[in-house]
Amino acid sequence: MNTTRPDLLVVGSVAVDWIITPTAEREESVGGSATFFSMAASYFASVRLVGVVGHDFPQQTLKDFDDAGVDRSGLEIDPEGLTFRWKGRYHENMNDRTTLETHLNVFERFDPRLPAGHEASEYLFLANIQPSLQYQVFEKMKGPRLVGMDTMNLWIDIARDDLIKMVSKVDVLTINEEEARQLSGEHNLVKAARAIMKLGVKHLVIKRGEYGALLVDHDGHFFVAPALPLEEVFDPTGAGDCFAGGFMGYLSRRGVTPNGASLRTAMIYGSVMASFCVEGFSYDRIRGLSIAEIQERFHTFARLTDFSHAHLLD
Amino acid sequence: MNTTRPDLLVVGSVAVDWIITPTAEREESVGGSATFFSMAASYFASVRLVGVVGHDFPQQTLKDFDDAGVDRSGLEIDPEGLTFRWKGRYHENMNDRTTLETHLNVFERFDPRLPAGHEASEYLFLANIQPSLQYQVFEKMKGPRLVGMDTMNLWIDIARDDLIKMVSKVDVLTINEEEARQLSGEHNLVKAARAIMKLGVKHLVIKRGEYGALLVDHDGHFFVAPALPLEEVFDPTGAGDCFAGGFMGYLSRRGVTPNGASLRTAMIYGSVMASFCVEGFSYDRIRGLSIAEIQERFHTFARLTDFSHAHLLD
């Protein structure tokens, strides 16, 4: 593995959430897809964050980005506006959640601008924002080596054509299980995956929450990454974005065109970062990890599915 | 692996189901927990089946048991009664189902009797029947080396004390995810597993349907077995019983006190047999498999979670 850190550009939401879980509550919990992605990917790559926040955005998080080596020159701070805010309550199962309030604020007029040099980043992740904005950023790039994207049910509903246009351009799409069904119109997940890949995406990652994630690579091979069985899921917010951060971060760090083998290892690093994420509010557990901690959890994941392939029948 | 086949006794239901799926229907679909278990385990062990059917039970299945080497001397055929019959409809997701009719018939007065010699079987599986009947069979045994059991939500509801008494005696309990939550009163699966193991069970297998299965061994180590992503789930009936058949069959065949390693491989053989099961009605796909087919699917499972453990961060 090379030791210079490649540039990984991420564009997405940066938010302040109000999180209510069955056991705890935090009123000012910094979130947003690009925040979680950046913090998780910062262990692997030189992350460049593009997004927008308001004057109310916590200074501490700006400092945390700096400490994590995240280049935030592309994070616009609007002195006139308020940060995107979301308030939600998780149900007992920690999987379903109810949105209580959404205030787009400065995010409503988000027009991603890339600071000079950003367009030459070799790796690009289009986190969950409006597909037309994702496309706008994509078009500004100068031939990135690898492009990943995420999306959500809202865009499948209201911007399907834009979404499909964007999907057709990317190397990796990460999507939730239910969204994969919604996008493809197929209930069976294998059929859903095949239909989505026909849209032009090279590799597909289907996120299954507490059941882990599924990879379908360009050759049609499946890989199943488990989720870590955790005694306490403190706050699931951002798990999918941290997964994407570990996944894209690892692929960027490897610096090769992803193949079956590197994609599989990337799936595990994604799962590792997601497993840390849910152990605390916001990016509390994703900040200040040691490489040794990440490696130890990687090995925990390895043990989780490891079995002898040698014991055959006779 | 030794080549003499150990005796594996199973007691459970033998039924004729009427299965309706979104795409197909079969009115006389032979089922029942002991039927699926026996057919799946027959590739690994000398299965002895204990159950009861009526005069309407298909001769073809008796012949199929014989062809599979299943000893059915403990399968009582009541010339006065009708076989246990269940009619159900699977929903679009192939996971949820609605029971349309249940006729216990001869199963209502099932009083398991063991033919001479059966009580000396080294391996025992108590498939899903009333816990007091499971206990009755268990007490007749002469020190089996390994005892497994399955159960269902009904017994957790109406026979909890009997169930807990039975659970405390077994080496392996296989149980569905929702049932594990119901039995333990814990929503979090790790907490649920810990609570169930405190009841006295040595190793716990939590079945998660299309998401595979989870093992918690006696040392508290977790193992995640994936399910095979299938393009067509034809009929999920019996998948859990086929899993148990492959799992217990493999452990019997190994002939050792199960440890972490053999339990893990057993989880995969269980998953292999379950994956065949759902590809057809009844035991259609579980009958007449070649060892080569089973091995090939085992390797398919191995590839599903295989990744390099060598790529670390620096």
Q: Which of the following is catalytic: A219, A241, A306, A314?
A: A241
Q: Is residue A292 part of a domain?
A: yes
Q: Are the beta carbons of B183 and B155 closer than 8 angstroms?
A: no
Phi, psi of A91 (to 5 degrees): -80, 175
A69 Cβ contact partners less than 8 Å away, ≥ 6 residues apart: A42, A46, A47
> Is the Cβ pair B190, A308 closer than 8 Å?
no
Q: Is residue B311 part of a domain?
A: no
The residue of chain A with its CA nearest to that of B187 is: A93
In terms of Cβ atoms closer than 10 Å to its own Cβ (0-12, 13-18, 19+), residue B255 is middle
Which pLDDT score, from 0 to 100, does residue A311 have? 64
Q: Are the beta carbons of A246 and A269 closer than 8 angstroms?
A: yes
In terms of Cβ atoms closer than 10 Å to its own Cβ (0-12, 13-18, 19+), residue A63 is exposed
Model confidence at B1, in pLDDT bands (50, 70, 90)? very low
Which residue in B71, B239, B87 sits closest to B150, CA to CA? B239
Residue written as token pair 């002939």: B255
Which tokens in the block code for residue A280? Answer: 């605390």
Single-letter residue type at A5: R
For chain B, what percent of residues have pLDDT higher than 90? 91
DSSP A294: H
Q: Are the beta carbons of A58 and A77 closer than 8 angstroms?
A: no
Single-letter residue type at B178: E
Other Cβ atoms within 10 Å of B142 Cβ, number: 9
Which tokens in the block code for residue B157? Answer: 């509801």
Residue written as token pair 């990917």: A41
Residues of B in contact with A304 (CB under 8 A): 222-224
Single-letter residue type at B313: L
Measure B164 CA to nearest chain A CA, in Å: 23
Which pLDDT score, from 0 to 100, does residue A3 have? 56
Query: What average pLDDT does range B211-216 have in this prediction?
Result: 97
What domain range includes position B11? 7-305
Q: Is residue A121 part of a domain?
A: yes
Tens digits of residue pLDDT in B136-177:
999 999 999 999 999 999 999 999 999 999 999 999 999 999
CA separation, residue B61 to residues A65, A126, B129, B277 (Å): 67, 57, 21, 16
Residue written as token pair 């150990």: B6
Which pLDDT score, from 0 to 100, does residue A259 have? 86
Give me the residue from B43, B208, B302 closest to A313, CB to CB. Answer: B43
Domain count of the fold of chain A? 1
> Is the Cβ pair A291, B307 closer than 8 Å?
no
Instruction: State the number of CA atoms in the 13 A half-sphere of A41 facing the CB.
Output: 36
Task: Kindly tell me the sign of the dihedral angle through the C-alpha atoms of A163, A166, A169, A175.
Answer: negative
Tens digits of residue pLDDT in B72-115:
999 999 999 999 999 999 998 887 899 999 999 999 999 999 99
> Is the Cβ pair B264, A308 closer than 8 Å?
yes
Give me the residue from B264, B298, B313 closest to A294, CB to CB. Answer: B313
Which pLDDT score, from 0 to 100, does residue B54 have? 98
Q: Is residue B310 part of a domain?
A: no
Which pLDDT score, from 0 to 100, does residue A314 have? 59
Which pLDDT score, from 0 to 100, does residue B95 have? 79
> Is the Cβ pair A212, B223 closer than 8 Å?
no
Model confidence at B260, in pLDDT bands (50, 70, 90)? confident
DSSP A246: H
Residue written as token pair 């031939």: A143
The residue of chain B with its CA nearest to that of A263 is: B307
DSSP A226: P
Query: What average pLDDT does range B237-241 have in this prediction?
Result: 96
Domain CATH for B125: 3.40.1190.20
CA separation, residue B242 to residues A266, B49, B276 (Å): 33, 14, 9
The question of whether B241 is a catalytic residue gets the answer yes
CA separation, residue A277 to residues A35, A83, A234, A282 (Å): 12, 22, 9, 8
What three-state secondary structure class fits A245? helix
Q: Is residue A256 part of a domain?
A: yes
Q: Are the beta carbons of A232 and A278 closer than 8 angstroms?
A: no
Tens digits of residue pLDDT in B49-59:
999 999 999 99
Q: Is residue A31 part of a domain?
A: yes
ipTM: 0.92
Tens digits of residue pLDDT in A119-140:
999 999 999 999 999 999 999 9
Q: Is residue A310 part of a domain?
A: no
Which tokens in the block code for residue A26? Answer: 């935090």
Q: Are the beta carbons of B137 and B54 closer than 8 angstroms?
A: no
Q: Are the beta carbons of A75 and A11 closer than 8 angstroms?
A: no
What is the full per-residue pLDDT of chain A (314 aa) written as tens digits? 445 789 999 999 999 999 999 999 999 999 999 999 999 999 999 999 999 999 999 999 999 999 999 999 999 999 999 999 999 999 988 878 999 999 999 999 999 999 999 999 999 999 999 999 999 999 999 999 999 999 999 999 999 999 999 999 999 999 999 999 999 999 999 999 999 999 999 999 999 999 999 999 999 999 999 999 999 899 999 999 999 999 999 999 988 788 889 999 999 999 999 999 999 999 999 999 999 999 999 999 999 999 987 666 65
Q: Is residue A34 part of a domain?
A: yes
Q: Which of A93, A187, A217, A224 to mutate to test the interface with B (most CBs of B within 10 A)?
A: A224
Q: Are the beta carbons of A48 and A140 closer than 8 angstroms?
A: no
What's chain B look like in SS3?
Answer: CCCCCCEEEEECCCEEEEEECCCCEEEEEEECHHHHHHHHHCCCCEEEEEEEEECCCCHHHHHHHHHCCCEEEEEEEECCCCCEEEEEEECCCCCCEEEEEEECHHHHHCCCCCCCCHHHCCEEEECCCCHHHHHHHHHHCCCCCEEEEECCHHHHHHCHHHHHHHHCCCCEEEEEHHHHHHHHCCCCHHHHHHHHHCCCCCEEEEECHHHCEEEECCCCCEEEECCCCCCCCCCCCCHHHHHHHHHHHHHHHHCCCCCHHHHHHHHHHHHHHHHHHCCCCCCCCCCCCCHHHHHHHHHHHHHHHCCCCCCCCC
> Is the Cβ pair A3, B299 closer than 8 Å?
no
Which pLDDT score, from 0 to 100, does residue B234 have? 92
Which pLDDT score, from 0 to 100, does residue B165 have? 97
> Is the Cβ pair B313, A43 closer than 8 Å?
yes
Going by their DSSP bridges, the two strands B146-150 and A7-11 should be labelled as: unpaired
CA distance B20 to B26: 7
In the sheet that holds B71-78, the strands lie side by side as B71-78, B46-54, B7-11, B123-126, B146-150, B172-176, B203-207, B213-216, B222-225
If one compares B314 and B201, the residue with the highest pLDDT of the two is: B201
Residue A148, beta-bridge partner list: A125, A172
